[in-house]
Each structure stands twice: as structure tokens, then as C-alpha cells.
Structure 1
Amino acid sequence: MSNIEAFPLETRTPSEYESLVSMGANALDAIPGAVYLCDRQGWLVRYNSEAEALWGRTPLLGEGGDRFCGSYRLYLPDGTPLAFEDCPMASALEDGAATRNQEVLIERPDGTRLVALVNIRALKDSQGTVQGAINCFQDVSAHHALEQELRRKNADLEDFFENSAVGLHIVSGDGIILRANKAELALLGYPADEYIGRPIADFHVDEPVIGDILGKLSSGECLESYPARLKAKDGSIKYVTITSNGRFEDGKLFNTRCFTVDMTCVHTAEAARQESDDRLSATYEAATIGIAEAGADGRLLRVNDALCNMLGRSREELLDMTFLDYTHTDSHDQDAALYARQVAGELDHYVLRKRAFKPDGETVYLDIHSSSVRDTHGGFRYGVRVLQDVTLARRMENQIRDSERHMRNLLEALPAAVYTTDAQGRITFFNRAAIELSGRTPQLGDLWCVTWKLFNTDGSFLPHDQCPMAVALKENRAIRGVEAIAERPDGSRVPFTPYPTPLHDAEGNLVGAINMLVDISERKQAEDRQKTLIDELNHRVKNTLATVQSLAGQTSRNAESAKEGYNRFEARLLALSRAHDLLTRRHWGHTPLASLAQEVLLPIFGAEPGRVTIEGDGIDVDTRVALSLTMTLNELAINALKYGAMSIETGRLSVNWNVQPQSNGTLLTLDWREQGGPPVSPPEREGLGSRLMKRCIERDLGGVFVLTYAPEGVLCRFSFMVAEHSA
């Protein structure tokens, strides 16, 4: 172990700015984050490689180089150009005030942009005069992109309901319209305040129909394209089909979701067809619908012009065919069987929708109304077939079914948790996303929220009767801009943003509320990581500068020559750098002690099998312990290599540790044992290395440090309490 005499101390302690400027060229690279320094005039004097990577360019240092910032261009978050003389660094140098968590847009020379979060502190001398400033900044573009995506999804969900092409309304169990979209209001011509909140029966033409609809839904039936007539604001009648199902609470209908499809045009066409049928006897040839007469074998005996046009065939062609000759194969057997029964007298008439084809292969859909004309004895004379082309209606029906199916799929895939309550806060409905978010299946009738437990964002317990939904119901107002944390039964927690909104009846009375819970876990994790990194960076920069300053001062005081002092200082600075590298790779989290020991010692001793043994209990240590252990092991290793067992080929080294539970925590004990080296004798006086190790173990970690100079080899044992984190 070497002993080094100290140089006299400097009469003046360097300022923060002077210390930072005097650091080695790559010293700032040990800091995990983008960092740069400016002098009093704003000229860049130092920056690290991470700052250079974010800038996308290599700025020039010193007067005449880059000033205030190394970016190619700067902008405010809204895209407004930001002059360098107006940037946060320029402001800090001018008034000496710190800048915390300010966002700017950085543009690189290649045109790409990123959002940077900057933290700037002016560096002053002992008289308070600003000498320069330091800027620590980081890329938060991903966080911004996530926020924009969340806003887009929320807008899409609202747009889905309001701007759907199909009318959609929600009716309470008492028959009150709770909500209607734009398509529903446009269909009937009512403004929202004249439609929403009124009984649905007010808009039905046929009282028995709405009674039947509510009766079926109350009994648990689902309606599929149920026909109804609705009154429009202008007095006209709208023929619609209603597809709906009900939501129940305690076996009682709570509300319904209804899709309303305007079938007025189809109904008008059907009415026209019926009117043509009534006039067929007098207006056969002038009819606008197809009319044909067929014999018992199906051969066509008479056709009108409308049928010829409908099938794209001439009268002569049709009179040489049976009606089965132009029938599609998937409708052939059904039409033939029904007609055979009609000829036999089993049926007087039948109605059939079938497919037929034109000579060019085009498929048409025909509604067939077939009736019999019989003689006085009841014998079959011919069949009268009235045909109407419903191809357009069929296509519309297909489109409607596809639209309804698509809407149902979208509702099933809705990613946000949604639930409703009555006016007393009892849960009346929840979707599958609510089950996933809460980690359990809520019970209808539970109060206020679907979650198991709630907490405020500061971690304090939030009773359910004080949650945002409870406040919205008690104060009868929508709640926005708040966040909470849901705890699942398995202990996991989910941060979320609620959107509770009260619901009212026609008289404005509170009847319940609806709430959407948006999972913001990813955004909160990103925010937490950013805050942790910033806090850790501030802390580590201060600690690192203090450590470097101490190393420099103590090494210079104990060095026999400037060169030796420089070499010892550089070795210790590199050890500190290796510790920072290791912690940076692990994002300044917990580090396995085995990995730490190997990464500190193996680069010093090299790969020499059998000479160095490193083993111990599996345990992870935090950043404070890791830094202190790195400096201690480095000092022991350097001395072992220069003076101890590792200075000769026969020497061996073993590093062992164990952990023992104690009443107040966990005790970590590490043994350093050198063997087979040159004889050891105690030094005449304690050197810098011994004092540095004692400081790391006894002062920084509150432990016990024992260094023994046994003749057969150096023995070192130190122990301290740790918060155990199993590897």
C-alpha cells in the first residue's frame, strides 16, 4: 500500500463554473443525459456526446462558435420560431434565474424535430456573479405523441356515436329518450332539446307498436329490424325499422339502445307495388310492375312490358320460356315446389323473393306474388305472377345489415371502460373493458364505481363515496381534468382519467350518470420515468462533482509528483466513470452485486483463470451503495496489482460476501483476501486510498471498515446495512 505526501491546498476554491470547465474532455459523457455549458456571453464551452446526438450536429466551442444552444434551429412547442437570443439559456444568463421543465422544439440539420425538456441553472461565483450556465435536457417526443394519440382516440369515440350514418338513440326503462345522435335527429327533423328527454311514445304514430316494442324489450327479447312509424317535426310520417336490445338491473329493464333505419323509400316502393297489384286487372299492359301468366307447367303465357324490361328479354324470348328458365339455381327448387302445390290446389297463392338472371348474367332480386285463376269446378287454369324488382332494396338491406354488424363489432371492441349508475350512484351497466380495467367483475347495484379500491394521485386512499362519479352525482355536474388510481384485487394499480357526466330526464331531474375510465398507465409511467431521471440526474451531477472535487484535492495533497498525482487521479476518475457506466446501462436502478464486482475487478486484473474468485449471495444494491463499493473495490484492486498479491504470478485473490437478516434490515458483509503475494507490512502512515475507502464505507454507507496488513496477504472486511433486493 503506497503513502503519498500532500501538496499544499489552493488558497481559493474553484467556482462551479470553473470546476465544470476544467473537467476532462470526456468527463461530461459520464453524466446520463444531454448536458452543455455556456460562458457568461453565451458561447458554448462544453457539451457531452448525448447532447451532440440530440442536436444531430457538432457545434463549435468558444467565441465565434455556437451561442446559447447547439441546435440547428429552435421553436416554441406550437411551432413558432425561437431566436437563440430569446431561448431559455439566454434568459438564464441575463437574469440568473433557473429554468425548470420548459419544453422547446429542436430541429436537426436533416429536418427532423424533437420535443426537448430543458432544465437550466445559472453558475455563479462566490460573490453571486453569473459566470455561465449549465443546461440538462432530454427528448420527450414519445410522451407528446402518446398524448396526441389519446386525444385522437377520445375524439374518435365521441365521433362514432354522434356522426354515425345510422340513427342511434338510448331510451330509459321508463321510455324516456336519454340520448340521440345527429342521424336520428336529422331523420325526424327535431333539435336535440325537443327530442332528448321526452317519452319515446310521443314520436310513434301507432301506440300499440311502441307498447309492443317496450313489452318485448322488457321481457328480454331482442328486436331485429322491427317495423314502426315515427312522426317527424314537419308532420310527415317516417317508416323505419328498429333494431334494439335492453339493459337490465335486478331483472328490470333499465334502458335500451336502438338503431333506427329509415325505410320510407322502401315503404313507398312497396306501396306503389301494392297499388299496381290492385289495378292489375284494368291496367295490365300499362302497369309499372312485372305481370305474367303461366300455365301448369310454368310456361309463360303472357307478359307485360314491365317484366320484359325487368328481365332484359323480349316478349318473344319470354313466351318461349318457363319462369324457372330465368330463375337462379338457389331459388329454382323453392319456386318450383311452391308453384306445384299451387297448381295442385294446396295453396291459393304464395309470395317469394328469389334471384333471377338477365341474359348478360346480371343478377336481380324479384318479389314474386303468385295467385291462381281457377275454373268453376276449381280446376287450375293459370297462375298470375306479379313481379317486382327489389334489387335496390335488397342491396340497401345488405348495406344496413353490414352497417349494423360493423357498429356492433365497434361497440364490442370499444377499448375504454364505460359504466352507468342511477341517481343514487348504484351501478346499472358496465362493459367488458370495465372488467379488464378493474380486474374483477363488478356487481350491478354496487355504489359509485366499478373499481375495487381507489387512491388519489398522491397515494392517499380515496373512498368511493368521494370519487369523481360520486361528486358528479352529488353536485349534479360533469367532472373533467382529474385523475385517480384504481387498485385491483391482485394488488396491481392502474392510473386513469374519469369522465363522469350526469344524466337528466325531460324535466331536468337527475336520473343517473355515465362514466368513462381511460387507462393512462403508459403516460403516467413515462411521466414517472422522466421525473425520476431528472431528479436522479440533478442529484448525481451534484454528487459526482463533489466526489471529483474531493478526489482531485486529496490526490494532489498526497502525490509525490505532479505526474503521479495525475495518474492516481485519472485512475480514480476512471473507476468513478465505470461505476456511472454500469449504473447508466441499468438506468440508475438496482445492480446485482456479482455483476458490479466483476465489472470493476476484471478490467483491472484481466482474464486469469484460477487467480481471482468472486462469489457471494445473490443481492441487488442501489446506486448509492454501488458507487461507494466501486470506489472501494477499485482502491483495493489497484493496490493489490501494484503492491499486493496480484503483483506477482503466484498471487491469488478471493472476494466473498454474504447477507444476514437483522432486526432493523439486512447486513451485507464483504471479505477481501489476498494470498501468495509478497510479504506485507503495515505502512508508516495512512494513505489517501485508505481514507477514501473508509469514507465510502463508514461515512457514506454508515458501515464498519477493517483493513488488516497480515504478512501472508492483505485482509479487508467491511459491512453495512442495505435494503435487500434479491437478484
Structure 2
Amino acid sequence: MICLQSSRTRSISKCSTRSPGIRIPTDDRALEGMVDDGVLRRLDDRGELRAPGRLKDFQRSRNSRPHGALMLIQGSLRAPSGSMSTPTTIATKSAQALSISDIIFDQLPTPAYVCDDEGRIVRCNRQAIELWGRRPRMRDDADRFCGSHRLHWPHGPRMSHSESPMAAALLSGGVAADQEIVIERPNGERVAAMVRINLLHEAAGGLVGAAGCFQVIGERPEPDEQLQFSQRDLEDFFENGVVALHWVGPDGRILRANQAELDLLGYESEEYVGQHIAEFHVDRDVIDDILARLSCHEKLERYPARLRTKSGEIRHVLISSNVYSRDGEFVHTRCLTLDVTERHLAQLDLQESERRSRELLEALPAAIYTTDTNGALTFYNEAAAELWGVRPDLGTSYWCGSWRLFWPDGTPVPHDECPMAIALKENRVVRNVEAIAERPDGTRVPFMPYPTPLHDADYRLVGAVNMLIDLTHLKQAHRRQQLLINELNHRVKNTLATIQSIAHQTFRGKTDEDLKQRFEKRLIALAKTHDILTREDWRGADLRELISRLIEFACDAGERATVDGPSVLLPQRAVVPLAMAIHELCTNASKYGALTDPAGCIVIEWRLLAGGTRLQLRWVESGGPPVQAPARRGFGTRLLEQGLRHELRADCKLTFEPSGMAFEMDMPLSAAPAT
């Protein structure tokens, strides 16, 4: 006889010694059986033998019990051949009984296994290992509820281990009877089986685990080709998609995750699946809110969150999720995780750039403001508010923030016709325009605007920026400068008049009238040159105008003088020396040179060299009397050959050909004056 005891009660019931028998531990009390060639004799609670029966009768009897049998038994049960030569009595020690119990459990022809109340597998027989195609890890959270590689619903979709009959029985506290599932082995083979789960209770009634057994139906028939392809595609979509996907059970534990999700966080599947989702969230209040909403079957779209990777890096994500339910019961979530870390960092960089730009614009002394495409103000700095004398409301003030606008002549300017409005409406920059802003207190500020349209990468108009240059101080400085220039011009003229009066008195009574006239004409030429400089605010003089006025005054050449050359603005330092040189050439031509003959003429031409940085000028006379070099060099010759070289750093050449005199000069326009 073989006696088995319950692992929980550690008690040994009386057994008959008339024939070999077994005791099978159950969830409520021990049943003793005598098995001999398939004949079962059961003992009642007092240890008395009851009516014999076949094993199948015992199986049916046990199925009718409130909690069901521990496991389905098919076929005869015998002790291993040669394992015991004499019957073992009820005095057999507990350790020996347990060892024999393990042997019998492993010899059961039906796949069976036992889980604790947390779903961890604590025992399985070799038939279960063969069915699963793998040996699960005992008492390990990695193998919970079932030892199979994968599970599937009978119609094909994947069944997570937390959805298995064992999990359902432990969670609900009820029996799972004859439920069909499909077991997938590691090599890809699929086997259909009926599974039955019975709960195990201790003597006091507390749940300590559950036992399960399988009845193999056979190899799962292949679904039709279209369904097979569809299922394969769905599996591939989940497992190998580029978007991170995962499922979370009602208890918050991760049931499944694809490779993209694992790659995102840097975990292996066994490190991630089965853990509580909150362990990977940086902000506990965020994941608590997510789980609370999903528990109410609320749909989440692009919920911002932060996840911590295995390496400790923080990833910014957007989570979209909803709940898969069956008969109204929460089964698991379907979560999509979108990594937006790079975009988040780019947004931070953009915000930092905008902050620095605003700081820069605020620090600038010039008034600056921006508008959108409709002209609504979107930003202005402190300098703009000071210029306007008012702080307009952003978004509701248009075109310009000033109280009123005027043109320089005093004409009012409507805001929708101001330079900024023109720049936006015509999509072009506006320059060289002045306007006047009137403040609420009545003061007016002259300014020059620089409105410029803004465009995106595709050159679409997105707004405009305007810089207002306050011209108040510039206008005041210009008025002061004009007063000084006028005063200088007045004093220069008075000085020249005084010099002319002194010369007139000096030459009174002298017989050399020609010398007197030449001196006076030189003074007048100098005065005319100063008039041109005064009119141009002493910024310089136009070369063509200077030569034309001097020729007209000094020699009255008329059509006999040809003046040709590009427009050149002489620097202020070169105007007076060059004017005196032209005057001397005119005087010499009218007294001794080409203009003394009606057929004579002069040609004055110039050109710019070296990119406009040098001026080359030629004076050529022809048609006059034969020319000879002067016997002595007077004031005019010294001025042409030495004065210009000293004053303007010019290279000068004066030649006296029989056909007429010629003068050539090459001078820098931008060089510093001689010291």
C-alpha cells in the first residue's frame, strides 16, 4: 500500500493494508483510494472502505464535488516497478510519503501543474513540460499563471498569461472548467487543449493556490490562408512596428511590450514585462492620473509624460491609450508611446533663443516692434513704448503703436497707410521715409521707420518687424550744424571781402592793373568754391558743377570747352585746392593759350580708377597759338606741379607741346590728407 499526505495538514490517515493504494490530496479533505488493476476502493472519513469502483467512476465522482478534483486521472495508477518490495503502512515517515507523492505526480499521464496564490508555478509534471515544450522557472515572477511560451485564444489572437484560465480563477476565486486554449511552444508549434483549474484552500479556508490540468485535443488545425496571413501580419505589426506599443493589466502591471518599446527604454523583455508601469514613470502623479482615467474607460490622446530609461536618461513621450474590455470588464490597455524627446529639446532651445532675442531687443536703444500678417502688434520693446508715449495692447492694436502719425510736412497719416502697413500689404521693405509720431501729451517725435516683412522657410509672409530711429537729436544737431555753417560761410565771405578791400587799397595808384585783376579773380573763385561747399553742408562738391562754374567765370569758353566724365563727389578736403588749380588753368588759357584764338578749344575729361578710389583728370588745349615753355615758373605753375602734390598726394604732369598745353593729374579720393 502507498499512503500520501496533504502537504498542508501534514497528517497521515489510516490506510487499509489489504492491497496497494494511494491517497490524493484535495482542496477540502483527503480521499483515500485503493487502486488495483484500475479498481478503486474509497475510504470514508472514518477510514472504512467503501464500495469498489472503476477509476472512471472515481473520476466522475470527483468531478461532481463542489471544488472539483485536484487533477484528471486517466488510466491505472501504479507504483513504479521495483520501487517497493513490501507494502508501506501508515507508519511510513512523512518525508518518504512526500517523495512517493512526487513520483506519482510526475507519473500522472495528464499534464498538470500547481501555482501559489500569486500565480507563481510551484510544481509541474513532466507531461506538462512536454506539452509546453519548455521547463518553467519555479516560484519565479517571470513564469506566472502558465509555463507555456505563449498562449492564444482558440480563434487565433494572442492571449497574455494574465488572461489565462489560471489567472482568471485566482483573481475571481472561482473554478475554470473545461476552457479551450492554444499553447504555442518555443519552436512555433501550436497545440490545442482543454484546461481545468481547481482552487486550493488551507484547513481554515484561506486560498493558497490552484491546480490545473490539461486534456490535449491535438495539433491545432491551421486556419484558412487569409486568416493566417492576417494574424501573422497583426503579430508582425505589434512586435516589429516602429512605434512603441505595450499592454497594461487592470492591476497596472505590464502584460506585453513590443521591441520598439523595449528599445526606447533600453530594457530586455523579462526586465520590463510583468513590472508595474509606475516604476518607469518619472512623475508618479502623472501615471496615477493616466491609470485612473483608463480605469474609467476614458480614451487618452497624446498625454504628455516622462519615462526613465534603464540608463537613467529621461525621455519625453506622448501616450495615447484606450481599454480593451470583454463583457464590460477591464482586460488590458492598448498604449502607444511616442518619443518626442528631440522635439521637446528643440522646443526648449527655441524658447531659450526667443528669450535671448527678446532680451536683446529689450536692451537695444532703438524702438522695435513686430506684427502678425494682419498688422496686429505682437511685441514691442521699452524703447518703442517711450517713443510712442503709450503702451498699446498686443493683439488689438494695429500697424503702429503711436497715438497719432504725421508726415514731415504736417499732413496726418492714417495708421493703415503708415510705412509698416505698406510693407505688409505690398510685401516689401520700405526705406528712406520720415514720419512724426505724436504722443498723448501733444509732444511730437520725428523718426525714420525701417519696416521689413518676415517670411518662413517657404517665403510665406508671417509678419513684419519695424525699427524706429528717433531723429529728435539728429534734427537738433543738424540745425545747430546749419547755424554754424551759415555763420562760417558768413565769416569766410567777410574775410574774403576784407582781403579784397585790402588788396584794392594796396594796388591803388599802381600801374599793373593786370596783376590786380588776377588777384581779385582768384579771390572770387575761392568765394564761389566756398559757396558750393556751404550748399552741400561742407560734405564735398560735384566735380562737374565745380569745373563748369569756374570755366564760366574765369574764361567764358562757352561751346569751345568740352567737359566729360562720370559723376564724382569730391571729398571736402580736395575741393578748394582743385578749384584753385582749375581757375589757374582757365586764366592761362584765356590769356596765353588756346582761348586767345577763336579757333582754339579746351577739353577737360576725367575717369575713375581702382574701383572708384582714384581720380584721373586731363586738361588738353588745342587750336591756339604755338606754345612754348615759360622762361620762369610763376604762382600758377607752382600750384599745379607742387601744391596739388602736397595737398592731395596727387601725381601731376604739365607739358607744353607746340599744339597746345596739357595737364594730367592722378589723385586718391579716399586717402588721408597730407600733414
TM-score, normalization by structure 2: 0.30
Larger Rg: 2
TM-score, normalization by structure 1: 0.28
Of structures 1 and 2, the one scoring higher in RCO (CA 8 A, sep 6+) is 1
